[in-house]
Amino acid sequence: MLAINSDNKTNKINKHPLVAGCLLLGLATIPDVMVVPVLKELTVDRFGISEGDAHYFMAVNLLGALLAIGVLAVLNRAVSSTVLLLGSAIISSVLMAAMAVTTSWGAFLTLRCLEGGADLMLLAIPLRIIASAGGKERFAGRMGGGFTVMMVGMAIGVVAGGKIGSNDPVMVLWAGAATMLLITLIVV
């Protein structure tokens, strides 16, 4: 297991912060894009909404992330990165599970919006770990590596979402919840 020690200015994950940060970032990226291949089935077919309204599902996630920026700034000063990452992964897992069982379109969108806030923290903290994993002279290389990991995570998520959701699109939400629980096990 990995432990994040934070004085709210630097992050160190055991002896390999770059590897750990990339692992956490890659895993955190996968669940959000798993819904893309099954978006119609997950929204239009499940809730009987229009295809245009289905895109609110993706948009409210970004709205939740924007709203969480201020919360992250305040919490970042008061709480360790370990607690933030652990809490965000647990919250995201619970919200994804709740999205899997809700029968209300409005509740579904509300849960997705809240989950967007957790997403922001799940992406921002590993990026900060990656950024602080070494000296200034290799910063661009570390960040490039981190963003490459994000792209690979997105590719894995799209393919996995298509496979996992082929028979039951709600399964992508359960798989996303399980991925978030995996992150909690890594962080603890």
The residue among 81 and 97 whose pLDDT is bigger is 97
Cβ neighbours of 6 (radius 10 Å): 21
Q: How confident is the model at residue 103 (pLDDT cuts 50, 70, 90)?
A: very high
Partners of 120 in beta bridges: none
pLDDT for res 13: 52
Query: Domain coordinates of the chain in residue numbers?
Result: 17-187
pLDDT for residue 76? 81
**Out of 3-12, 96-105, 128-137, least confident range:** 3-12
Q: Where are the alpha helices (DSSP H) in the chain?
A: 17-34, 39-40, 46-47, 51-54, 56-78, 81-101, 105-131, 139-164, 171-187
CATH class of 17-187: mainly alpha
Q: Does position 73 have pLDDT exceeding 90, yes or no?
A: no
50 or 16, higher pLDDT: 50
74 has pLDDT over 70: yes
96 token code pair: 């994804």
* Across 48-59, average pLDDT: 95
Structure tokens of 61?
A: 């996630």
The pTM score is 0.88
What is the average pLDDT value for the chain, to the nearest integer? Answer: 91
- Taking only the tens place, the pLDDT of each residue in 141-170 is 999 999 999 999 999 999 999 999 999 999
CB burial string 137-146: b at 16+ within 10 A, e below: eeeeebeebb
